Amino acid sequence: MSTIIQRRGILKGLGASALAAPLAQMFGIRRSYGATGALPKVVFFYTPCGLQVDSWHPAAATGANVTLKMLSAPLEAFKARCTFMDGVAMYPQSDHQGGSLQVLAGDDKNPKTIDLLLGEFLQGSTPFASVQLGVQSRISQGGQHTVLHPNISRISYNEQIFGEDNPLAAFGRIFGDFTAPMGAAGATLLAKQQKSILDSATADLNSIVTSLPGSERQKIAAYTESLRALERQLTASGVVQTASCNPMAFNPTHFTVPSVADPNQASYNEAANKSVVGDLQMEIARLSLACGRTRVVTLAYEHTNAKQPIPGLGIFGVHDSSHFTAPPGQNAGNATPAQMDAKLTAWNNYRVWYAQKLAQFLKMLDDTPDVNGSLLDNTVVVHCSELGNGHRTERVPFVFAGGNALGFKLGQALNFSGSVPAFSGGAHDGVRMLAHSSLLTAVANQLGLPLAKPIFGYAGAQALDPRSIGIIA
C-alpha cells in the first residue's frame, strides 16, 4: 500500500500531464478521482446579461431525449457530456450587481470566490494557483479601465481579481516569452520551472527503486533516463513541446497589441477583434491546463454591463440588446415594435454566439489528451451567467460540462423548479428554485475542497445537499 501511495505522489510531483502520462501508463496507476490517473481541473466559463430562458433551457430529460432549444443548440454535439439545469436561482439578491456579486461566491456575503479557493487548494506544484482571463471584461465608458459592477472573482469585498483581457500579456505571464529567442529571460524561467519538476520526479523515483522487484527497477531506470533526456532538451531550448502542450503554436494569426494611452482603445478591446481575442484566451486556458501551469481557470466573456456589440450579429451593445423592451441606448421605456424586434434579434444572435464559443472550447478540451482520457474528461466546465429570467437571478443558465471522470453525472437536463420551499421576502419572495450555492458546493466536494460549512454560500431552505439532486454520479 505504501508503494502505491508513493507512486501517486510521484504523479502529483510531476505536475504537467505531459510528464506524468508515461509513468501512469507504465504502472497502470489510477487515482481515486473517478478512476483516472489525471489530476482534477475546473474552468468557470462566464457569459453576460442572462438570456431568453425559454429559448435556452431544454425540458427535463436524459440521454438522447434531451432536446436543446434555439440558444443552446450549438451544444448539441456535447449534450451527452453536459448537465443542463433549469429552476436555479441565486439568493438573496436579484439584479445585475447582485448576480455578479453572487455567481462564484454562493451568496452576497462570502468574501472569497470559489475559483480562488479551489486554486489555492489544488495548486500543488503548478506555478499558478488559478488563472483569470477576460474577453473585453473590463472595457467601460468614460475612459476608466474598470468595471462599475462587482467582478465575478474577488479575494474580499475590497479586493477584486480582474481577468487579463490582453491575450498576449496573459500568455507572456503564464508561459514566458516564447516568441523571443530561446535564450530570453521568459523561456529561461520556464525551463527552470519545468526542470525543477523533473528533478523532484527523479528524486522520488530513486527513493522507491530499492523496494521494487527487478523488472520494475528496469522500468524505473528507463523512465529516469527519459526524464534526463527531457531535462537536456529543456536546458538546450527552454521549452517542452508535446502533443498536448504546444505553446509555440500560439497566436497563429499573429494578433498584435500596439501600445496606446487608453486601454479602452487597445486592439484587444475593439469590437471587431472580440472573436479572435476569445479564441486566443480559450487557447491560453487550454494550454494552462494541458501544460500543468494551473488547474483552475476563470474565463469571462465581457461583464454584466458589456457595452460592445458582436460584429455581424447586431449593432447594439450586449447589455443594451438585453434590455430589448426599451428604446436603443436605454434600460427602461417602451421600444417601438421595430426597435424591440431588432434588439431581441441581436440579443439572441449574441447568445447563440456565446454558446458556439462554449462548444468550441469544449471541443478544444476534448481534443487534448490527458494522462487518461481527454482534458474534458478530467475537467468540469461550469457555464454560468449573472442573470436568467427578466434581468433577475432566477432560472440562471448553469451548465456542467465534462468532468465525467470526476464523478459528475452528465447527459441530462434537470428542472429544480418547485423542488424546494418558497423563499420568503425580498425580490425572490415566493420563488421555489434551487439555490445555486448547491451547485458550487457540488464542484467543491467533487474536487475535494474542504468547506467550513456543508453549503458554500447561501444555506437557506432552498439549498440542498448536492448528492441528493442528481448531478453527482
Residue 277: pLDDT band with limits 50, 70, 90? very high
pLDDT score at 272: 96
Q: Is there a single domain that holds both residue 318 and residue 262?
A: yes
Q: Is there a single domain that holds both residue 45 and residue 17?
A: no
pLDDT score at 176: 85
User: In this model, does residue 442 exceed pLDDT 80?
Assistant: yes
Q: Is there a single domain that holds both residue 303 and residue 233?
A: no
- Taking residues 401-417, what's their average pLDDT? 97
CA distances for 440 relative to 122, 145, 446, angstroms? 16, 30, 10
Q: Nine-digit cell at 165?
A: 483581457
User: In this model, does residue 156 exceed pLDDT 90?
Assistant: no
CA distances for 118 relative to 15, 69, 128, 159, 263, angstroms? 16, 32, 12, 18, 30
Q: Is residue 55 part of a domain?
A: yes
Give the CATH number of the domain where residue 377 resides. Answer: 3.40.720
Query: How many angstroms separate the CA atoms of 307 and 141, rounded?
Result: 8
Q: Is residue 473 part of a domain?
A: no
Query: How many angstroms separate the CA atoms of 47 and 383, rounded?
Result: 8
**Among the three residues 191, 210, 238, which one is the final residue of a domain in this structure?**
238
User: In this model, does residue 397 exceed pLDDT 50?
Assistant: yes
pLDDT score at 140: 64
Residue 432 · residue 417 · CB < 8 Å: yes
pLDDT score at 109: 87
In 369-434, alpha helices (H): 375-378
Domain span holding position 10: 1-30+183-238
Structure confidence by residue, pLDDT tens digits, 348-366: 999 999 999 999 999 999 9
Which one has a higher pLDDT value, 231 or 250?
A: 250
Q: Is there a single domain that holds both residue 84 and residue 212?
A: no
pLDDT score at 151: 82
Residue 107: pLDDT band with limits 50, 70, 90? very high
Structure confidence by residue, pLDDT tens digits, 291-319: 999 999 999 999 888 889 999 999 999 99
Q: Is residue 302 part of a domain?
A: yes
Tell me the range of 92-96, 113-117, 186-190 where mean pLDDT is highest.
113-117
Q: Is residue 5 part of a domain?
A: yes
Q: Is there a single domain that holds both residue 41 and residue 134?
A: yes
Mean pLDDT of the chain: 84
User: In this model, does residue 133 exceed pLDDT 60?
Assistant: yes
Q: Is there a single domain that holds both residue 204 and residue 325?
A: no
pLDDT score at 125: 81
- Taking residues 411-426, what's their average pLDDT? 96
Q: Is there a single domain that holds both residue 212 and residue 82?
A: no
Q: Is there a single domain that holds both residue 128 and residue 64?
A: yes
Q: Is residue 45 part of a domain?
A: yes
User: In this model, does residue 177 exceed pLDDT 90?
Assistant: no
- Taking residues 170-180, what's their average pLDDT? 75
Residue 224: pLDDT band with limits 50, 70, 90? low
User: In this model, does residue 17 exceed pLDDT 50?
Assistant: no
Which one has a higher pLDDT value, 220 or 238?
A: 220
Q: Is there a single domain that holds both residue 215 and residue 336?
A: no
Q: Is there a single domain that holds both residue 87 and residue 228?
A: no
Q: Is residue 146 part of a domain?
A: yes
pLDDT score at 210: 66
Q: How would you class 21 by CB atoms within 10 Å of its CB: exposed for 0-12, middle for 13-18, buried for 19 or more? A: buried
Q: Is there a single domain that holds both residue 169 and residue 217?
A: no
Q: Is there a single domain that holds both residue 233 and residue 138?
A: no
Q: List, in order, residues 6 or more apart from 74 with CB less than 8 Å away.
A: 352, 355, 356, 358, 359
pLDDT score at 65: 96
Total number of domains in the chain: 2
**Among the three residues 206, 221, 238, which one is the final residue of a domain in this structure?**
238
**Among the three residues 217, 238, 259, which one is the final residue of a domain in this structure?**
238
**pTM of structure:** 0.82
Query: How many angstroms separate the CA atoms of 352 and 376, rounded?
Result: 22
Q: Is residue 188 part of a domain?
A: yes
